[in-house]
Structure formats: structure tokens, C-alpha cells
Amino acid sequence: MNTGFSPFPWLALLLLAAVLFGTLRSRRRLRHMPVLTSGSPARPGEEADREAGPRDFAWLTVAGIAVDRELEHSAVEFATAQGLLVLDLVPGDMPVEPLLDLLHEFDPTAFRTDPVARGRGAEHALLVHTDVLRRAGVSPARDLTPAGLADVTARLKRYAARSTGHAIAPGLRGNPPDARAYKALTAARGGSPAGSLGGLLGETAAFAGAGYGTPFWGLLAFAAWWVQPYAVVAGSAPVRPRDAAVSTLGRPVLAAVRWLRAAAGPAAPARWTPAEDAARRSAYAAELADGTDRFFEPRATACPWCGSDRLRVRLRTKDRLQGKPGRFVLDRCRDCGHTFQNPRLSLDGLSFYYRDFYDGVGADGAESMFAGMTRHYRNRARLVRRHAEPARWLDVGTGHAHMCLVGKSELPDTAFDGLDLGSGVEEAARRGWIDHAYVGQFPDHADTLAGRYDVVSMHHYLEHTRDPGAELDAAAKVVTPGGHLLIEVPDPQCWYARLLHRRWHPWFQPQHQHFVPLGNLTQALTARGFTVAEVERGPAHQGQLFMAAATATLAAVAPDPRQPWAVPRFAPARRVWRGAAAAVFVPVFAAAAMLDLLGSAAARTLGPAGGSDAYRVLARKEPG
């Protein structure tokens, strides 16, 4: 029966807007990509050099790609003129779908100004300076798979952070894509094959739902997606895919065939051998055989900040980061408002729960997380620049020193050093991201480094420490008189901590030990001879809170069975369940992304009122 009700085409309009935006963005990106020109005519005596190959450069290519001498010389000339140490070549006839994937993930303009961006290329041919190959431990090769070249591209970018670029090579002929290699290629690019395939199913369901609910607008959105390849490359595009007509006309059918071939294709190569995986599982099983009680110290009866015994439980939760066994409690002091883990982890517990998060199994994920925070790194450096022009800056808890690398863009005359517990800080020095690396606990280095730094920074570090007071004491020693201490921590008083409750990501259990309200930190800094110069809330907002909450929910509903601490029984069925759950969660992730965009926009004005999930304090150490 016709009720006369006509639903508003919100889903169809959202899809249409997304397709149109993506099309225009891809057109712009394609036309901003530089194009190689034919090499300049050889000067007398230069012909022999060209025949001998490029000086100081070597090639990494996939099987089936041929680079002739003229193209080689043109690429070397371009790289030298642009100051590039790594040059990715985009074939002039690159097939449509791989080209669209590249343009979706890669902005040629932003890439050169973002030194921590993940290395991404066309996965055909890579020209690399021999010094970069040496420091990265990579050998030249002419027979790599696309996944192999994708993996090495990401690695080499870290060793040529500001000198990696791309160019279209009209004379380079591209390989046709192999859908059966989709899982391996997705994993090499840092993605999840199951999540990606599930996302494509969710996208299909969204188009189907839009067409069913509002046929006209749904079909219009689908038509826009159908002709997208032609819309991107039409006109004066520098890449002319040889399959443009066929791929556009048959896109719906070809997309279904590619998805089926990808789903049926071989799994991505395991990062660990079966023996290594078995050893990891065995080690975790042995550690968990007696339960998790030994990972905790006795419960505290007084606040570690003010000594009050007026405590109340603020939160009980599980490990929502990795899904390892264990239960965690956060207490809040009724007198000073300090929130802390109680009982706190023992040293063995810290070792257990940190393991495979920033290294090992979780290394790639941690690298991607830190690489996506360029805006925050720039804002921190700009805050300091408004008050000082430091000669030496020590970043405590630096990890791989992403902050230092980006900070150098804002303060080119500043020498950045880093300190951390893990080997990542030493790797940062090898990459050239910092000048000096210090390994160990900050308080242990305080006497040696006393008075040597104009700026000491602690970005989302203090909440990880067992004794925040000792860390502040160390900073007071290391900062030179008249210098500055920059601290950024989660704000336990923000709206989101109450709204999202256990799924507020900055609780970050079990790693975060302490949550310090702004008033408490200000008082502690004053007691150590500092004067607060500026406080930022909105610019310190980390964001992605709803997306993180959705991800944590998905992990709770469908844990990843590949993790070495997971129960391996019925692993294939668990993987299928996880893939299906990821597909169902696509609309949830879409809604979460919209809420995060609104939250980030609101934080700019409402941050001081509680709309920011973090705060940033810059304090000056007074002379005397």
C-alpha cells in the first residue's frame, strides 16, 4: 500500500557527494603530478656514461618492467634537479583501477611537504640513491612483485623523508594488475586485506540500499561511480590508460570479477614464519599459564599525587588496544582529581602489555598511527616558535622521532635530539631524523644532560610514566634557565571521557598510568620554578575518538585470531567471522568518521569548555 511517504535521499546524496568529491580530487592530483621529459641531448663524451648506467643511483623494479637508457637518464636528471634521493615512476599508460587507487591515497603536492607520510608509489619502478639503499639495508632488484616493491617503497621513504618524489614516465609501459595478488598488495601497503574486502562489500551494500530506498538518486550516485574512471582521465590528463574505455564501460561487472578473484586469491604472505609464530604463541601461553595477577602491584590506598585516601573507582575496563587478557581499574582522587591506574602494573606487567604494540606484531600499525599526526607535530613546534627560537630541543618519549622530523620543518636551525626506552630512538638516528639518541629512563639521564636544552618536550609521555613527579624533576634539571618545557597529555576532564566511558580511546589501558588535570600540572610546574607561558586545548585535540570507539567495539565483537596471544581454535572460522563483522561495521565507521569531523571542528572553539580530548602546556623555566 502506498503511504505517500518519500524518504529523504540522505544515503544516496552522501554517496553522490563522496563520488563527486573523489573524482574532482583525483583529477586535480593527477594534473599536479610532474611529468618526465626526454633527456637532454648527450654532450661529447657523455654517451659512454649513459651506456654505463646512472651514477650514484640504482633501480628497483617489478618483473616485466623495462627501463631503457633514455628513460633512465631522464629520471636521473629529474631526480638530481629536484633534489630527490628516491623517485617513483608512474607509467604513462597505467591501468585505470590501480591509477584510481594511487590517486585516492596519494596527494603529490602534500607528499613533498609531509616528511612522515607513508611511502606510496605506482609499484612499477623506483630510482634510488645508493646511499639510501645502504642505510636502509636494501639491495637493487629487477624482479620484485608489486607487493615487494610497495613494502620497500615504504621503508625507503623513511630514509629519504624529505627527498622522495614521483613523476609520470610517458615512455614507461605499465603492467596489468593481478587481482589475485590483492591481499598481498593491500598488506604491503599497511592495510588489512579482510577489512578492505569487507569495506568493498559494505560500499556495494550502501549503493544497493540507496537505490532501493530512493531509486532516482541512488541510480544517479551509481552512475557517477560508473563513469568515474573516464571523468578522471578525460581531457589533458598526463596519464592515458590503455584500458580506459573497456574499464569504464564494464566497471560494475569487472569490479565484481576483481573482488571474487581477490577474495579467492592466496592470502597475504605471513610476516612471521610458522616456526616464529608458534614460538610467539608458545611464549605468550607460558606467560599466561598462571593468570595475570603477577602483572600487578598491590593496590594503593592513597593518591600518588596528593596523598589523600579519598579514592573512588572511575573506570573498570579490559585491554582494548591489543585484546590481551587482564582487567584494569582507574581510581580518581576526590580531593585533587588525579586519576591513576590502581593497582598499577608491575615492571613485568608493563613488559607484557607493551610487547608487540610499538614493535614486533604491532610495529607497522604504530608507525602508521604516528605518521598520521603531522598537523599535531607542526602545532607543537609553532607553539614553541611563538615564544622562543631554541638552539637545542630534547624530545622525551620520542619513539621514532616523528615529532622531531616535522619540527625541523618549522625550526630549521634547531638541533633535535630524542630519548626513549626502546630501540626506535636509535633507528631514528640512523634515519637521520634526530641528531643524537638517548636510550633509557629520563631521570637516569637528568644529571648528565643538566642545563643542556633550551626546550624539553613530553608529548603524550607523562601519562605512561610510573612517577610523573620524578619526570618533572628531571625536566627541571635538563631545561636551561630561560628555556621551556612543553607537555601534552590527555584531558580526563573533557566531555568525551564521560560520553564514551570505557571506549574513550585516551584511557589507553593498560599503558596509561596517570591522568593529570590541568590545575594539578600547573601547580607542579610552579613548584619546580616554571611559569606557564601558554595553554592550548583545541589545537591539542587528537580526534578520531568515535572511530577508535568503533574499532574497539569491532575488536571486542570479532577479535583478530592472528594475534599470538589469541586462542587459535577454529582460526579459519574466526577469520571469516571477523571479515563479515568488518563488512557490517562499514556504516558504523562512516558515521563515526562524520562525528569525528564535527568533533574536531567543535574543538577549535569549544576546546577550553571541555571539547578537546587533550591539553598542551608551554612553561618557561625562570632564571635563578
**Residue-wise pLDDT tens digits, 487-513:** 999 999 999 999 999 999 999 999 999
Contact between 323 and 564 (Cβ < 8 Å): no
Instruction: Name the most confidently modeled range: 64-73, 524-533, 597-606.
Output: 524-533
Hey, which residues does 456 pair with through a beta bridge? Answer: 394, 485
**292 within some domain:** no
Mind listing the pLDDT tens digit for each residue in 232-254? 999 888 999 989 999 999 999 99
* Domain contains 422: yes
Burial class (CB in 10 A: 0-12, 13-18, 19+), 452: middle
Grid coordinates belonging to 279: 614460538
The domain boundary residue, chosen from 231, 250, 269: 269
Q: What percent of the chain has pLDDT over 70?
A: 96
Residue 44 has pLDDT above 60, yes or no: no
> Is 43 within a domain?
yes
Give bridge partners of residue 457 from the DSSP assignment: 395, 486
Q: What is the pLDDT of residue 54?
A: 61
Residues 6+ apart with CB under 8 A from 164: 84, 85, 86, 87, 88, 111, 119, 156, 157
Describe the strand order of the beta sheet including 614-621 as a list of residue ranges. Answer: 436-439, 415-420, 392-396, 453-459, 479-490, 614-621, 530-536
What CATH number does the domain containing 393 carry?
Answer: 3.40.50.150
In the predicted model, what is the mean pLDDT of the chain?
91
The answer as to whether 297 is a domain residue is: no
Q: Are residues 263 and 405 in the same domain?
A: no
Q: Which three cell numbers stand for residue 135?
A: 642505510
Residue 303 included in any domain: no
Residue 598 lies in a domain: no
Based on the domain organization, do 260 and 365 belong to the same domain?
no
104 and 252 together in one domain: yes
Paired with 316 in beta bridges are 329
- Tell me, yes or no, whether 513 lies in a domain: yes
261 plus 365 within the same structural domain: no
pLDDT of 46 above 50: no
Q: Are residues 252 and 368 in the same domain?
A: no
Least confident span in 181-185, 481-485, 586-590: 586-590
Q: How many domains is the chain partitioned into structurally?
A: 2
DSSP label of 488:
E
Residues 243 and 374 in one domain: no
pLDDT digits (tens, 9 = 90+) for 257-296: 999 999 999 988 877 788 888 888 889 999 998 899 999 9
444-488 pLDDT, tens digit each: 999 999 999 999 999 999 999 999 999 999 999 999 999 999 999
Q: Which of 215, 246, 269 is the last residue of a domain?
A: 269
Q: Check whether residue 11 and residue 157 sit in a common domain.
A: yes
Say whether the peptide bond before residue 41 is cis (omega within 30 degrees of 0). Answer: no
Name the nearest CA neighbour of 224 among 23, 397, 56, 1. 23
- Say whether both 226 and 115 belong to one domain: yes
With a cut of 60, say whether residue 377 has pLDDT above it. Answer: yes
Residue 7 has pLDDT above 90, yes or no: no
Same structural domain for residues 377 and 482?
yes
State which of 208, 239, 269 marks the end of a domain: 269
Asked if 194 and 559 count as a contact pair (C-beta separation under 8 A), the reply is no
Together in a domain, 251 and 375? no
Query: How far, CA to CA in Å, does 529 sit from each of 314, 399, 481, 497, 622?
Result: 32, 28, 10, 31, 6
The reply to whether 417 falls in a domain is yes
**Judgement on whether residues 364 and 262 belong to the same structural domain of the protein:** no
> Which DSSP state fits 462?
G
- Grid look-up 654532450 returns 43
Q: Which domain holds residue 107?
A: 7-269
Is the link from the previous residue into 269 a cis peptide, with omega within 30 of 0? no
Bridge-partner residues for 340, per DSSP? 331, 514
Query: SS3 letters for 297-317?
Result: CCCCCCCCCCCCCCEEEEEEE
241 lies in the same domain as 382:
no
